[in-house]
Amino acid sequence: MKLAVVAVVALLCALATAESGQPGRTPVLVELFTSEGCSSCPPADLLLAKLLREQPVAEAEIIPVAFHVDYWDHQGWKDPFSSKNFTARQKRYSQIFGEDSVYTPQLIVNGREQVVGSDEAAVRRAIGSATAKAPLPVKVSARANEGGLRLSIDLPAAPAGAEPIDVLVALAEDDLKSVVRRGENEGRTLTHVAVVRRLQTLGALEPEAFVANGQVTLERGWQTPRMRVVAWLQGRKSQQVFGAAAASVTR
């Protein structure tokens, strides 16, 4: 992804971000590490869909992403959505949560807390706790064109004295379905939401607010009407998420 970065006045960026999201709710990024090869994962996949569609935590705008890891692929069924890059991302979190914290289904909330992804009570508590911390403002939009997607991301200035804060963008697709023919889920038809198709780090926040614009190509088979773009701000060392936003693709 090639981005043309245009500096803008911080006040304008703040006004734009104030218009995004759900009024009165704090954006909370929820990452599910899952696999079609894991028999414990389907309940977590269903819970993620519930979080997306029902938004059941009153104070939170829940922004889910599902990372399908690849370490289950040798158990008889290769997850068509899995990636070694997503496994590597989960392993980086183990530096924060401990070496025994790499498992499925794992759900990580704002990079600060990890819980079993199918434990709805624990998931709700973690999301509710995440709303106590005010986020940095960020806004993202995506428009479909002949070449793929045109993205625009309004980014805030880096807080003074803060660690480097990276800007990450994911393309996520909803309503995906697989008929599993082998492995622990053999014979089951599994459905998924927020499946990350592509993840990229665009750089870091700068001393001044700016808008990043870029063009993203789509792979064959990806369905634009079912896609969303998710952007978030993540501490490079702490892995904490300082702000997040999501947008459906428009035309």
pLDDT per residue as tens digits for the range 220-229:
889 999 999 9
Grouping H, G, I as helix, E, B as strand and the rest as coil, residue 18 is helix
How far apart are alpha carbons 160 and 163 in whole angstroms?
9
How many C-beta atoms surround the C-beta of residue 210 within 10 A?
Answer: 19
At 13 the pLDDT is 37
Phi, psi of 129 (to 5 degrees): -65, -35
Grouping H, G, I as helix, E, B as strand and the rest as coil, residue 70 is coil
Question: What is the distance between the terminal CA atoms of the chain, rounded to a whole angstrom?
Answer: 20
How far apart are alpha carbons 29 and 244 in whole angstroms?
6
Q: Which residues pair with 121 in a beta bridge?
A: none
How far apart are alpha carbons 117 and 74 in whole angstroms?
22
Q: Low-confidence residues of the chain, pLDDT below 70? A: 1-23
- Cα 156 vs. chain centroid, distance in angstroms? 19
Is 165 in contact with 233 (CB distance < 8 Å)?
yes
Is 240 in contact with 111 (CB distance < 8 Å)?
yes
The domain of 93 spans: 2-250
How do 139-145 and 148-155 pair as beta strands?
A: antiparallel
What's the number of domains the chain is made of? 1
Structure pTM?
Answer: 0.90
At 162 the pLDDT is 95
